[in-house]
Amino acid sequence: MTISVARLLRHMAWANQETIKHLRTLPEESLKAYATNPEWFVAEIAHHIVDSADHYAFKITGKVAITQPGDPCIADIENISDLARLAEQAAIVDSHLIAAADLDDVWLDLKNDGGTIQRLRSTVLSQAIHHATEHRTHIASALEAKGFEPINLDDISLWDYEIYETANGLRDSNL
């Protein structure tokens, strides 16, 4: 068996859904919780995880997951009820990223503010995983800083994902 980044991407997708599921159990005001920067609050961070993944998916595959290049980003999260839409969008985008793990690892030309840079597809996929992990941690910190029940990051670890895979019969089929 060859080790693949696909499993890490599946973990990311699961952890994103678990995070959104947790947020849906909290009061509305929890969406405005922040740790140190009032402009970097829970709803903004959750939106940022999915919106950025949408952009990563396009950069990696050249295929649109949710938004076309140049179109407005996905809609902001204003209310707890908006998290249902975010969960659906995350599932779409994360499935595009998971599928990208089967693509060849080639150099991609990526446009940024300074022009065009080259990055390996595996670098961008790995960044997508790290980016989501980093920001789920920000969400947990922001919730805790303002006295809301934070997501327990240990409950969405790779260890727990393996337990989830085994319990749901995914362990052998997703290798």
Residue 161: domain span:
6-167
Residue 100 resides in a domain: yes
pLDDT value at 171 more than 90: no
What's the total number of domains in the chain?
1
What pLDDT does 173 receive? 59
What pLDDT does 175 receive? 54
Residue 47 resides in a domain: yes
Residue 141 resides in a domain: yes
| CATH code (residue 80) | 1.20.120.450
What pLDDT does 174 receive? 57
Q: pLDDT averaged over the chain?
A: 95
* pTM of the complete model: 0.94
Residue 174 resides in a domain: no
Residue 175 resides in a domain: no
Residue 50 resides in a domain: yes
For the stretch 19-24, contacts whose Cβ atoms lie closer than 8 Å and that sit 24 or more positions apart, written own/partner, are 19/46, 19/136, 19/139, 19/151, 19/156, 20/46, 20/83, 20/86, 20/87, 20/90, 21/87, 22/149, 22/151, 23/80, 23/83, 23/139, 23/151, 24/80, 24/83, 24/84
pLDDT in tens, 49-88: 999 999 999 999 999 999 998 899 999 999 999 999 999 9
Residue 172 resides in a domain: no
